[in-house]
Amino acid sequence: MKILIITGLLAKETIIQNIKTYKKHEIYLKSINTPIAAFITNNMIINTLKKEETLYSINTNKTTNINYIDLILTPGLTRQDTKKIKNTIKKQTYKGPSNAADIKITLDIIEKTELSTTKPADKYIIEQQEKQALKTITEYEEDNKPLQKPNNTLIGNCKIGSDYPMRILSEIPNAPQLNEKELHNKIQHYINSGADMIDIGMYAGENHPKEAYSLIKTVKENYDIPVSIDTLNPEEIKEAIKAEVDLVLSLDHGNYKKTLPLLEDTQTSAVILPTNYKKGIIPQTPKEKIISLEKLENKCKNITVIADPILDPINSNSTTESIITCFNYKKRNPNTLLFFGVGNVTELLDSDSNGVNAVLSGIGMEIGVNILFTPEASKKTYNSVKELKTASNMMFLSKIKNTIPKNLGLNLITLKDSFNKEDIHIDTSNISHITAKSDGFFLPDRKGSFKIIVEDNKIKAIQYNKFTPILVIESKTARAMYEELIRRNLVSRLEHAAYLGMELEKAEIALKLGKKYMQDFEIF
């Protein structure tokens, strides 16, 4: 295929260096007489190509002209739809990548994927890969046939088992302490994050049966999502069952006699533990835990059970030993559903949660885990539900495709890049270099000051006149915020505008990453 790449003067050399040894297609390059490729317009390209000048290949010794070109790639960051070029020049014309260094990746897939006339190729390709990945998962999600197998079941309306992705059970810890608004906000946040089930966490060692009933009823009446109760208290479990709870966390050897008959009568599923907390018995070795779980499972054979061998935090007792327990239990009991308390590790580890969640999800997939359980009990684990949902989908794709969890269309790469991105080189050796210095000079803006906060999943800029708040501008992006400030003529000084731009961008980064934002303080 003969492909013509359009670029600006600065990116020309980067493209040549990336393509000169490229073998797959015959590549031609035409640079428009403007330094920045993003500033190139459709008319500039059309006027240049209408001249029908000789085009020179950068990876062969061949020449041609526009009449023999099969496809044109414009710079990815140009603002206009390339359909105008296609309609005028009569050649297929699409946007190339945002970064000139990514041109080779685009060329590699150009015959397999129709690119976009409005979006940069790299972003469009990522969108299409994600769309295809989610479509594949949806096809498995909608298949009811696996429910006939013994290793799959329904919890409420949620399909769970080895033929479906690992399900995310999101705990609301100490739920009785929340007021109604806080409860609904938490539930909605979890649903928006991709939770498959909501867990109502009660106070350990206390007795609040009325609250258990009320909390479960609230979820059941307002949301179309399965709900579980997290308690060992038989009275709370009894009231939760009355409220039509879908899953009980948990049964152990100390409470099953009081609760099992109710579960059997209502065919309510339960998570089982190898413990007897009533007598203070907690098995320590993998063998002891497995035997204890198997004994309890045998007693609960008239209901659907999900075994929880208990995933321990690192170095308390041993995460490694508890993973071995899970692995060996699943090997001995392949048709029993398996529970994995990921939050036990992430909450008790001073590390960003997304990488930990990815690795634990991968381990869970290899073991045969069916439920990933987590709260978001601390700031460092905020968005864990969203991370686990992505990780679960990644691992499911990895399993069904029998490949490593890489280049699947979904990822958890947040703070780093998956591949090197080279920028264009600008020769500045013959111009002056000035070392910038901050003098700390500040002069109040006559149009007022702004307090910037991140609240309700938005950036908010509160305008003050002297000490009185008079207006709130809010959005999810710094760009929308500063454009609104400019449109309304709310800033009169350049240094104030620059300061607000800096703070708004910090707020947007904090919002995206779930970090704490405080005006005038660094976020890293």
Domain locations in the chain? 2-133, 148-401, 449-513
Backbone angles phi, psi at 184, to 5 degrees: -65, -40
What number is the average pLDDT over the span 126-135?
A: 91
pLDDT band at 111 (very low <50, low <70, confident <90, very high): confident
Place of tokens 């106070």: 203
CB 30 within 8 A of CB 51: no
Measured between alpha carbons, how far is residue 345 from residues 316, 358, 372, 374, 376 in Å?
A: 10, 12, 12, 9, 12
Measured between alpha carbons, how far is residue 503 from residues 78, 264, 320, 461 in Å?
A: 28, 58, 43, 10
Return the structure tokens found at 397. Answer: 């794709």
In CATH, 2-133 is 3.10.350:
no
What is the C-alpha to C-alpha distance for residues 252 and 278, in angstroms, rounded to an integer? Answer: 9
Mean pLDDT of the chain: 94
- pLDDT tens by residue, 365-384: 999 999 999 999 998 999 99
Percent with pLDDT over 70 in the chain:
99
Q: Give the domain 148-401 fold.
A: TIM Barrel (3.20.20)
The predicted pLDDT at position 420 comes to: 67
Sheet containing strand 26-31, edge to edge, reads: 26-31, 2-7, 71-74, 92-95
The predicted pLDDT at position 345 comes to: 97
The predicted pLDDT at position 423 comes to: 65
The predicted pLDDT at position 501 comes to: 97
The predicted pLDDT at position 163 comes to: 97
Fill in the amino acid letter for 307.
A
Is it the case that residue 394 has pLDDT exceeding 70?
yes
**Other CB atoms closer than 10 Å to residue 469's CB: what's the count?**
12
Backbone angles phi, psi at 277, to 5 degrees: -65, -25
- pLDDT tens by residue, 146-173: 999 999 999 999 999 999 999 999 999 9
